């Protein structure tokens, strides 16, 4: 990717405007951009480290760091129609942008990022304020916003896209993202899990419709990555985790757009992420069952860091950066990486990454973690020089210096020990031996990847790919690597060597006999977390600095919502509300190998981890209750939609504690079900899982199924539905009419106005049905295949899509920005006008009696008055129990909007999630 031209010289403001939200953003951007980009210690450290050669290249390096970062985005490659979105950009918007001028300068159009596979990622050097305020960009801005909202585009920093690509995720892999919020990398990992799935499922359903019982094909089975074990559906799973509950909700907001059933979001401290139990394997009668624990094929450890590589998008780093930023995070980073390696399968990959250029947070962490896990014989640094060949990079450092809090540099641990022996040095209190290179080491640290801003006009980044060669026993942290003289719990906990039993079963590696936590064990306040104890001084001394998980990665619209939410006081955001970890949270301590032990013993050991009630405003544990395969509601659904018996019936769940299908039914993969059910009440904090498949819709009539298909889950199930609920569409004008017009009439002779689908729409029974848009060679035909949910009421038909998705499709497919027309506003309706355009565009507002569902549900009019959407009005069962708490719908969005990013003002910016955890015991192993 070539470097940007003329960055910061746009018009009279000289690049002082930047993107973002807020009412007075022009003034804020001016002060934001005018932060002096000078920091003597920052510049001296990296010049002394000689990370780039002295001379012209070093000047280019510092000049690039002082320029504004280009905007970048990528297309979600796992979704087939994302390619149509990319085609729309290439053929429609880029030619328009090439013809534009701003302040007599030619505007640079979006350009492909050369190293990203299949050219699915783009960057743009035009500043955000120009895109937002310059009228000719209005259509392009709408395109970006609408396609981002529906999940076809993800706005993400370019270097942030690298770690998931180097993980090499396949559709059958189990993947863990340990520090996932705000979710841009998690979304990328989900896309990789589902790569090729659409074509596999289409072939499987086609063979099913043709009467074939075997969904596989000899030719396709030989293709690497093709997974036919579940009728072409991806069988892998992503567990996305964040320690902060509110940030975990933002993570849900990001990844939910991709509608993946192969996802679980959790809320745990990455340094002591608990082991996940799986159902035991069958054993012959008379033998005892043994416990089984999940090991991951791929783990991403994109750890909290000082974030100095992000100073192009976070200029405050120039004034806030101090040497102690990185020193205070080293211990936490090592613990996260060691825990990742413990949970990894033999032969699996861990990618460790930071947006810092400091070797204390990078090569030193790699060196220490490998040393703790048994050395290069156990853990290999993978050479990835042949991957992403267009990506320019530097090798990792083998020698480096340490700068203490006073700005003094130290060449070795011996120098530090000598200085400490002469007098007390407060500035050296957090410097430990593991931060320095090991003398005479043979570790190939040059295989680490360093990306610098001047190479391809990006941010600074560090990536290392590690491979586990054999099972490991992690050494306890030595006293020389502790940051104070008081031994931590990790130095008390013992790790034992375990020899594999028969059949390759590896028992638990840690014991807790000598671990006796005190309920009153606190530090000063009594609520200090493990990380707070480790980083107490850094928290006191270091001013906030933006880190890798800045709001820019979330996308501008979400960032604006959060900024607005910051002005409101969140009464529940006290220390107990943000990722509080109970004393018995991880009891028993997590194993570092696939644990198999007596099932009864496992039950006894985990009895202490039973679900606890809410305390100190802590978010309650979510409910995930699966329906039995023969549940009567599923019987009605399968009969109404004529779903094939080959579609799994045992993966449907609800989100209420009683397990009753009250409002919505969700779908997950088989592995997600095993994890959610086996670990219920065992201390795991699950935040989200499942795709909403069916929503309750009150409707009269004996033959009407009251469960309508939801657009999120429709692509998963539509191929297995019978022809009686399918309406086919081949002409573009037909779909355009259905997108623009809400509730077009089908009663009387009105069905003729619907053209090719009119007769089928007239004859089809009431209730939900499927609109299948088929590709066609006709002049008015489609190049891509689409599937959309329809609702047939007594007198009308309606696409059940949110308004923003209607507009996105109109813009993408037809270049049409026409206002939406709502036919449900009838002239004979009391105090109601005739059919009007969308009230958000036209001057006429809809009557309050019309239900305007965000998910495109059915509105109420005089004819359809008995059809009440359960999402708007909750049915109350005979038992008096209300509706379930639907955390995947409006609650998630509300929490995301209300979250208060107060941690930026409270703790070191590199690890804001550590403030107020409230865990009293550090059980890191």
Q: Kind of pairing, strands 344-354 and 263-266?
A: unpaired
Average pLDDT over residues 829-851: 41
Quick one: tokens of 621? 């544990």
The segment(s) of the chain belonging to CATH 3.40.50.150 are: 163-215+223-618+896-914
- State the Cα angle at 692 between 691 and 693, rounded to 5°: 105
Cβ(642)–Cβ(721) below 8 Å: yes
Does 82 or 476 have the greater pLDDT score? 476
Comparison of pLDDT for 557 and 24, the residue scoring more: 557
* pLDDT surpassing 80 at residue 376: yes
Q: Please tell me the predicted confidence (pLDDT) of residue 487.
A: 34
The tokens for 242 are: 């964040």
Binned at pLDDT 50, 70 and 90, residue 848 comes out as very low
Task: Lowest mean pLDDT of 2-11, 180-189, 436-445, 752-761, name the range.
Answer: 2-11
Domain spanning 163-215+223-618+896-914, CATH class? alpha beta
Query: Which position has the token pair 């009279």?
Result: 12
pLDDT in tens, 508-546: 333 223 333 333 333 333 333 333 333 333 333 333 333
Look-up of token digits 């259905």 = 738
**What is the pLDDT averaged over residues 597-605?**
33
Q: Once rounded to an integer, what is the mean pLDDT over residues 641-656?
A: 94
Which residues are annotated as catalytic? 355
Q: For residue range 610-624, what is the model confidence (pLDDT) as tens digits?
A: 344 444 444 556 789
Per-residue pLDDT, 321:
94
Tell me the per-residue pLDDT of 294-306, one tens digit each, with 9 for 90 and over: 999 999 999 999 9
Mean pLDDT of 572-590: 31
Q: Which residues are annotated as a binding site?
A: 179-185, 242, 269, 302
Report the pLDDT value the prediction gives residue 483, as an integer from 0 to 100: 43
Q: Of the candidates 815, 693, 866, which has an alpha carbon nearest to the alpha carbon of residue 140?
A: 815
Q: What is the pLDDT of residue 227?
A: 67
Q: Which residue has the higher pLDDT, 576 or 677?
A: 677
Does 32 or 506 have the greater pLDDT score? 32
pLDDT bin (cut points 50, 70, 90) of residue 835 is: low
pTM of the model: 0.75
Q: What is the pLDDT of residue 226?
A: 61
Predicted confidence band of residue 390 (pLDDT cuts 50, 70, 90): very high
The answer, yes or no, to whether residue 319 has pLDDT greater than 70, is yes
Bond preceding residue 182 cis, omega within 30 of 0 = yes
Q: For 852-901, how does the pLDDT look when each residue is reduced to its tens digit (9 = 90+)?
A: 344 555 443 333 333 333 233 333 333 322 333 333 334 444 444 443 33
Mean pLDDT of 678-682: 92
Q: Are 854 and 846 in contact (CB under 8 A)?
A: no
- Dig out the tokens for 68 from the structure: 């504004």
Name which residue leads in pLDDT, 514 or 672: 672
Express each pLDDT in 1-20 by its tens digit.
Answer: 443 333 333 433 333 333 33
pLDDT digits (tens, 9 = 90+) for 257-280: 889 999 999 999 999 999 999 998
Contact call for residues 240 and 256 (beta carbons, < 8 A)? no
* Cis bond before residue 191 (omega within 30° of 0): no
What's the whole-number average pLDDT of the chain? Answer: 74
Check residues 770 and 562 and name the one with the higher pLDDT: 770
207 HSE (CA, 13 A, CB side) = 15
Q: Rounded to whole angstroms, how far apart are CA atoms 76 and 190?
A: 10
> Residue 401 in contact with residue 49, Cβ under 8 Å?
yes
Higher pLDDT: 299 or 590? It is 299
Judge whether residue 782 has pLDDT over 50. yes
- Residue 53 pLDDT > 50: yes
**What are the DSSP calls for 496-518, one per residue?**
------GGG-----EE-TT----
Between CA 911 and CA 858 the distance in angstroms is: 45
Residues annotated in a binding site for S-adenosyl-L-methionine: 179-185, 242, 269, 302
Q: How far apart are CA 862 and CA 883, in angstroms?
A: 26
Task: Provide the pLDDT for residue 413.
Answer: 94
């Amino acid at each position: 990717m070539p470097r940007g031209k003329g960055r910061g010289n746009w018009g009279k403001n000289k690049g002082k405007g930047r993107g973002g939200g807020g009412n007075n953003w022009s003034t804020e951007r001016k002060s934001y951009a005018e932060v002096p980009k000078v920091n003597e210690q920052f510049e001296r450290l990296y010049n002394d480290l000689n990370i780039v050669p002295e001379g012209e290249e070093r000047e280019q390096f510092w000049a690039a760091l002082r320029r504004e970062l280009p905007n970048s985005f990528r297309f979600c490659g796992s979704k087939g129609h994302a390619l149509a979105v990319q085609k729309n950009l290439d053929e429609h918007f880029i030619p328009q942008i090439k013809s534009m001028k701003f302040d007599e300068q030619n505007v640079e159009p979006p350009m492909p990022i050369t190293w990203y596979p299949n050219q699915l990622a783009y960057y743009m050097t035009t500043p955000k304020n120009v895109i937002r305020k310059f009228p000719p960009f209005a259509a392009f801005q709408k395109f970006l916003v609408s396609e981002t909202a529906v999940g076809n585009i993800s706005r993400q920093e370019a270097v942030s896209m690298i770690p998931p690509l180097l993980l090499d995720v396949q559709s059958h892999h189990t993947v863990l993202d340990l520090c996932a919020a705000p979710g841009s990398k998690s979304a990328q990992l989900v896309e990789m899990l589902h790569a090729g799935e659409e074509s596999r499922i289409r072939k499987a359903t086609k063979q099913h419709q043709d009467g074939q019982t075997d969904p596989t094909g000899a030719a396709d089975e030989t293709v690497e990555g093709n997974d036919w074990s579940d009728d072409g559906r991806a069988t892998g799973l992503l567990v996305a985790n964040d320690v902060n509950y509110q940030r975990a909700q933002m993570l849900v907001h990001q990844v939910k757009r991709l509608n993946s059933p192969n996802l679980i979001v959790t809320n745990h401290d990455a340094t002591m992420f608990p082991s996940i139990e799986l159902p035991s394997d069958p054993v012959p009668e008379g033998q005892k069952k043994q416990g089984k624990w999940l090991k991951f094929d791929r783990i991403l450890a994109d750890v909290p860091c000082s974030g100095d590589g992000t100073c192009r998008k976070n200029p405050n780093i120039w004034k806030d950066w101090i040497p102690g930023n990185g020193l205070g995070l080293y211990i936490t980073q090592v613990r996260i990486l060691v825990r990742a390696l413990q949970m990894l399968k033999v032969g699996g990959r861990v990618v460790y990454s930071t947006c810092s250029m400091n070797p204390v947070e990078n090569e030193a962490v790699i060196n220490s973690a490998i040393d703790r896990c048994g050395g290069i014989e156990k853990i290999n640094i993978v050479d990835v020089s042949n991957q992403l060949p267009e990506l320019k990079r530097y090798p990792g450092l083998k020698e480096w210096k340490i700068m203490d809090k006073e700005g003094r540099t130290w060449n070795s641990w011996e120098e530090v020990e000598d200085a400490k022996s002469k007098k007390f040095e407060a500035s050296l209190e957090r410097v430990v031996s593991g931060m320095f290179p090991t003398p005479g080491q043979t570790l190939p640290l040059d295989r680490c990847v360093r990306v610098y801003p001047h190479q391809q006009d990006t941010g600074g980044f560090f990536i290392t790919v590690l491979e586990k060669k054999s099972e490991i026993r992690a050494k306890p942290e030595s006293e020389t690597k502790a940051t104070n003289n008081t031994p931590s719990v990790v130095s008390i906990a013992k790790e034992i060597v375990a020899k594999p039993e028969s059949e390759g079963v590896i028992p638990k590696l840690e014991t807790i006999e000598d671990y006796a936590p005190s309920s009153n064990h606190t530090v000063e306040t009594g609520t200090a977390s493990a990380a707070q104890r480790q980083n107490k001084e850094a928290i006191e001394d270091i001013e906030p600095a933006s880190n890798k998980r800045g709001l820019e990665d979330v996308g501008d619209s979400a960032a604006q919502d959060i900024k607005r939410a910051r002005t409101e006081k969140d009464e529940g955001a006290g220390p107990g509300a943000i990722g509080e970890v109970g004393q018995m949270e991880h009891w028993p301590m997590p194993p570092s190998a696939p644990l198999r032990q007596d099932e009864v013993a496992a039950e006894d050991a985990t009895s202490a981890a039973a679900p606890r009630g809410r305390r100190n405003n802590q978010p309650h544990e979510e409910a995930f209750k699966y329906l039995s395969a023969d549940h009567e509601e599923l019987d009605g659904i399968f009969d109404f939609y004529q779903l094939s018996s080959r579609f799994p019936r045992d993966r449907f769940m609800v989100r209420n504690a009683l397990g009753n299908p009250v409002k919505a039914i969700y779908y997950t993969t088989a592995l997600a079900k095993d994890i959610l059910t086996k670990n219920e009440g065992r201390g795991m904090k699950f935040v989200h899982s499942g795709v909403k498949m069916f929503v309750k819709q009150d409707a009269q009539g004996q033959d009407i199924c009251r469960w309508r298909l939801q657009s999120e889950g429709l692509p998963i199930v539509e191929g297995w539905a019978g022809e009686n609920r399918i309406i086919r569409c081949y002409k573009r004008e037909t779909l355009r009419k259905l997108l623009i017009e809400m509730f077009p009439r089908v009663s009387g002779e009105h069905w003729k106005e619907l053209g090719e689908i009119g007769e089928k729409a007239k004859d089809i029974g009431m209730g939900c049905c499927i609109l299948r848009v088929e590709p066609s060679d006709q002049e008015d035909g489609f190049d891509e295949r689409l599937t959309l949910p329809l609702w047939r009421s007594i007198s009308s038909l309606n696409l059940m899509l949110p308004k923003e998705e209607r507009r996105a499709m109109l813009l993408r497919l037809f270049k049409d920005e026409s206002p939406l027309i709502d036919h449900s506003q009838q002239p004979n309706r009391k105090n109601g006008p005739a059919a009007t355009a969308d009230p958000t565009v036209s001057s006429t507002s809809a009557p309050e009696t019309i239900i305007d569902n965000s998910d495109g549900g059915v509105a109420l009019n005089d004819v359809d008055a008995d059809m009440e959407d359960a999402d708007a009005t909750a049915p109350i069962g005979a038992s008096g129990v209300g509706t379930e708490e639907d955390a995947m719908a409006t609650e998630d969005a509300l929490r995301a909007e209300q979250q208060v990013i107060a941690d930026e003002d409270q703790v070191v910016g590199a690890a804001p999630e550590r403030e107020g955890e409230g865990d009293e015991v550090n059980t890191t192993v």
